[in-house]
């Protein structure tokens, strides 16, 4: 099942003058992560810090942490304060946050569900040390074989994991194996391409050129992007054995061009998040993989910012929420094929 979010299938633009642009101030967060000094073996590239895993393109420095926390802020606002969409009743016993980043979702989940044991997993130790007693972080690679018991988690959550899976079907099968019967998995992903709600953009527009450079670069690392947009995430979940899949699409404005006060507020936040996080999203991919010069990349960044600030374009991107359920044991028995003689 795939459906646009009924709350904003089309965004009504505000009255905009030709030179209208955003006026947004910075929102700063800080990371106090300190788990183990022995795993702080990072690479320095173009002034940004990365893990030693060469196939992972994203930085893990303080600027990246701020971007992740700001992303959590505007997404939670967009979802009216909800941390998840899956129809989970009561408080789940055990929750896994795959690729938890700064751990901000894990911490909020633990705070709002004090009887739930929340485990966040990430490659980088960038999580805070002061966390709720029912929250813990593990530095590990969720693409490797999981060490938890089978049927262990009531809910598995992942966000912003596009271009992070070398073998998405295999990871979804591993997740299914460790989901309790009746439990849920949910993935939240943003598209890598922006669109204009106001008009069709030419093929040489910066939104298209950025996409056509960054996505092949990510694919060449062996971890393809656009799994949610192309339906690959849905396919992997269903092939793993999950059922009752729901795929929601949110139209997310970039900039405060919407007439609705909530969407205008979110649009301002998204614009700041996109502009400040642009280097983290694209610098490694575009220079080290796509082979563009630093000067060419800076020109692309400037063009992107100019497009965001042109509110006449009514820029937006799609955000995908995909969740599904692991059948109860009785359901699996009922649907199993009858033995043949």
Q: pLDDT at residue 16 above 60?
A: no
Q: Provide the pLDDT for residue 3.
A: 53
Task: Count other C-beta atoms under 10 Å from residue 271's C-beta.
Answer: 24
224 alpha-carbon distance from chain centroid: 14
For 35-64, how does the pLDDT look when each residue is reduced to its tens digit (9 = 90+)?
A: 344 455 666 766 777 766 556 666 666 777
Q: What is the 3-class SS of 85-111, one letter each residue?
A: CCCCCCCCCEEEEECCCCCHHHHHHHH
The structural architecture, per CATH, of the domain 2-328 is 3-Layer(aba) Sandwich (3.40)
Mean pLDDT: which of 7-21, 27-41, 203-217, 226-240 is highest? 226-240
Q: Provide the pLDDT for residue 20.
A: 46
330 or 298, which is more confident?
Answer: 298
Arithmetic mean of pLDDT, 164-172: 92
Structure tokens at 117: 């044991």
Q: Are 302 and 279 in contact (CB under 8 A)?
A: no
Pairwise CA distance, residues 10 & 272, whole Å? 22
Q: pLDDT at residue 1 above 60?
A: no
Q: Provide the pLDDT for residue 38.
A: 40
Q: Provide the pLDDT for residue 26.
A: 27
Average pLDDT, the chain: 85
Range scoring the smallest mean pLDDT among 151-165, 184-198, 223-237, 269-283: 269-283
Arithmetic mean of pLDDT, 148-173: 94
Q: Are 205 and 307 in contact (CB under 8 A)?
A: yes
Q: pLDDT at residue 196 above 90?
A: yes
């Amino acid at each position: 099942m795939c459906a646009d979010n009924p709350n904003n299938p089309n965004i009504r633009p505000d009255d905009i003058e030709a030179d209208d642009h955003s006026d947004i101030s910075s929102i700063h967060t800080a990371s106090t992560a300190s788990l183990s000094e022995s795993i702080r073996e990072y690479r320095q590239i173009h002034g940004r810090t990365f893990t030693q895993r060469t196939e992972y393109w994203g930085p893990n420095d303080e600027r990246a942490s701020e971007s992740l926390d700001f992303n959590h802020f505007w997404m939670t606002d967009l979802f009216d304060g909800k941390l998840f969409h899956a129809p989970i009743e009561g408080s789940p016993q055990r929750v896994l946050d795959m690729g938890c980043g700064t751990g901000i979702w894990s911490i909020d989940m633990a705070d709002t569900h004090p009887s739930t044991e929340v485990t966040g997993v990430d490659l980088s130790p960038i999580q805070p040390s002061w966390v709720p007693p029912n929250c813990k972080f593990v530095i590990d690679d969720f693409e490797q074989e999981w060490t938890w018991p089978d049927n262990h988690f009531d809910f598995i959550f992942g966000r912003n994991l596009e271009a992070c899976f070398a073998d998405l079907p295999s990871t979804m099968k591993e997740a299914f194996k460790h989901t309790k019967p009746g439990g849920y998995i949910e993935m939240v992903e943003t598209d890598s391409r922006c669109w204009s709600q106001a008009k069709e953009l030419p093929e040489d527009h910066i939104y298209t050129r950025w996409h056509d450079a960054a996505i092949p670069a990510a694919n060449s690392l062996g971890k393809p992007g656009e799994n949610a947009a192309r339906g690959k995430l849905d396919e992997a979940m269903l092939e793993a054995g999950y059922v009752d899949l729901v795929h929601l699409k949110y139209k997310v404005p970039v900039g405060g061009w919407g007439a609705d006060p909530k969407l205008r507020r979110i649009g301002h936040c998204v614009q700041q998040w996109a502009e400040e996080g642009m280097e983290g999203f694209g610098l490694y991919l575009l220079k080290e993989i796509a082979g563009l010069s630093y000067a060419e990349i800076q020109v692309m960044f400037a063009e992107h910012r100019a497009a965001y600030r042109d509110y006449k374009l009514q820029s937006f991107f799609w955000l995908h929420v995909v969740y599904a359920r692991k059948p109860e044991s009785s359901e699996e028995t009922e649907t199993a094929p009858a033995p043949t003689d």
